[in-house]
């Protein structure tokens, strides 16, 4: 019988993030506490979002609303890398970058975890910004998924291509 396998990836569902951003923008435009603050949230290129408002606390409040919308859409907050509010003229701005992919150090950590604590006969291979885990037994693969989920990494983890 051939080996069963799955991939460990860290991907962003850009459509869900875009929907959350649109919902946040609509809520900002209708909420009373954001009236007259010039609060706005918008894309800055492919992997960045910028929040601007007239005060630091308003910009932080917009970030909180955005995080709530992401949680409702099942997008992990670990994909966000938000900066501190910074003054920019009359505005206060927060830059958010979206983290995608598993770095080689993080992939090595997961591989070491699987090798040390995982079931015997499970192989993990680093393939670019993802990890392929294979084994003869599907039960072992499910054990590895449970093991990886229990760890608290600083990046979002998804499992794909389970075969």
- 69 CB contacts (<8 Å, ≥6 apart)? 20, 21, 23, 24, 27
Give residue 97's pLDDT band: very low, low, confident or very high (50, 70, 90): very high
pLDDT, tens digit, 9 for 90 and up, residues 25-48: 999 999 999 998 999 999 999 999
Task: Give the residue-averaged pLDDT of 129-150.
Answer: 93
Give residue 113's pLDDT band: very low, low, confident or very high (50, 70, 90): very high
Give residue 3's pLDDT band: very low, low, confident or very high (50, 70, 90): confident
Task: Give the residue-averaged pLDDT of 9-36.
Answer: 94
Give residue 116's pLDDT band: very low, low, confident or very high (50, 70, 90): very high
Kindly tell me the number of DSSP H helices and DSSP E strands found in the chain: 4, 9
What share of the chain in percent tops pLDDT 90? 88
Q: Report whether CATH 3.30.70.860 matches the domain 4-10+102-160.
A: yes
Per-residue confidence (pLDDT) for residue 53, from 0 to 100: 95
Residue 85 has pLDDT above 90, yes or no: yes
**How far is it, in rounded angstroms, from Cα 77 to Cα 98?**
10
Per-residue confidence (pLDDT) for residue 1, from 0 to 100: 57
**How far is it, in rounded angstroms, from Cα 85 to Cα 92?**
6
**Averaged pLDDT of the chain:** 93
Its pTM stands at 0.88
Cite the residue boundaries of each domain of the chain with CATH code 3.30.70.860.
4-10+102-160
Cite the residue boundaries of each domain of the chain with CATH code 3.30.70.990.
14-98
Residue 80 tokens read as: 């966000």
Query: Which architecture does CATH list for 14-98?
Result: 2-Layer Sandwich (3.30)
Q: DSSP class of residue 12?
A: -
Task: Give the residue-averaged pLDDT of 64-81.
Answer: 95
């Amino acid at each position: 019988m051939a080996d069963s396998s799955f991939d460990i990836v860290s991907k962003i569902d850009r459509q869900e993030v875009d929907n959350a951003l649109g919902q946040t923008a609509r809520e900002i435009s209708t909420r009373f506490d954001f009236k007259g603050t010039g609060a706005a949230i918008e894309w800055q290129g492919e992997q960045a979002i910028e929040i601007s408002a007239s005060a630091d606390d308003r910009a932080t409040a917009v970030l909180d609303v955005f995080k709530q919308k992401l949680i409702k859409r099942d997008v992990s907050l670990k994909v966000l890398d938000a900066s501190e509010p910074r003054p920019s003229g009359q505005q206060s701005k927060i830059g958010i970058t979206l983290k995608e992919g598993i770095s080689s150090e993080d992939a090595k950590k997961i591989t070491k975890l699987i090798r040390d604590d995982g079931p015997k006969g499970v192989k993990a291979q680093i393939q670019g910004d993802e990890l392929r885990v294979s084994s003869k037994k599907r039960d072992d693969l499910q054990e590895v998924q449970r093991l990886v989920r229990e760890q608290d990494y600083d990046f979002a983890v998804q499992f794909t291509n389970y075969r």
